[in-house]
Structure 1
Amino acid sequence: MLSFLLLFCALACVSFGNVITPVQPEVFGTEGDNITLSCNYSSAVSLQWYRQYPGLAPEFLLIILHGTGKVSQKSKLVDLDPRFSGKVNEKKTHVDLEISSAKVTDSAM
């Protein structure tokens, strides 16, 4: 039996006039799929991906350092999932969150 996933990339406005907009507000897939969430942005020092389940606080997934494009999942508090990776395009205006082998528990906002 296949389980369906629904992932959201929420529209977020960041301070100093920087704007982040989702390429697709909702992404659908099935368990085991490789899923990509994408956002365009106007400028940034770092880009951070979080997920949020209803009624809970946002959960850190990863940070991308804008100048170098280096991705870090380091956290002293939590073991982070290696299925999550991120990348910034060459022009540094677009960021992706890639989820490999998606699980039903990845369905979040």
Structure 2
Amino acid sequence: MMMKNMLLRNDIRKFCGCNVFTAGAVGSSITPEQTFISSPEGSNTTLTCTYDDSANYLHWYQQKPQSGPEFLLLVQKSTDYVRKAEQLDPRISIRLHKENNKVDLEIFPAAVSDSALYYCAMQPTVTQNSNPLYKK
């Protein structure tokens, strides 16, 4: 699985900011459009990653300080099926742009409490070769 992450963090003026990281399968790519975003509280904040054609599932995760990454959303590219985390905040949504291979995480309205590290991730359609890597 390829992951990219984004960091939303706050500053004195009640802004949230965003840093992006990714992770994925070898030979696949997902890339953040921006590595840091700072948004005024109450604004519409969009985190965007560009993926290659091998992607089938596109994921978003959030990581708060002193915590591990938590699943937010995924969208299946072929069917537009969206799976959400059980306790997903209704201000958070995912948008797929197939025409230009982009996936967005949208937060509206943004709050200082949204400050975190965000990951975009992909699962390719073909995940691995079924042949063994070595023989005994």
Question: How far is the alpha carbon of 1:87 from its aligned partner?
Answer: 1.2
- Give 1:10-89 correspondences, 5 Å limit: 10=21, 12-42=22-52, 43-75=54-86, 79-89=87-97
* Inter-partner Cα distance in structure 1 for 2:106 and 2:68: 21
* Inter-partner Cα distance in structure 1 for 2:112 and 2:85: 24
- One-letter code of the match for 1:64? V
Identity %: 40
Instruction: Give the structure with the higher percent strand.
Output: 2
Count of aligned pairs: 105
TM-score by length of 2: 0.70
- Please give the root-mean-square deviation of Cα atoms over the aligned residues, in Å: 1.7
Unaligned runs of 5+ in 2: 1-11, 118-136
Verify: 1:91 aligned to 2:99, yes or no: yes
* Inter-partner Cα distance in structure 2 for 1:18 and 1:87: 20
* Inter-partner Cα distance in structure 2 for 1:31 and 1:107: 10
Stretches of 4+ aligned residues off by more than 6 angstroms = none
TM-score by length of 1: 0.86
Structure 1 residue matching 2:110: 3-state secondary structure:
coil
Q: Which has the higher contact order (CA 8 A, sep 6+)?
A: 2
Unaligned runs of 5+ in 1: none
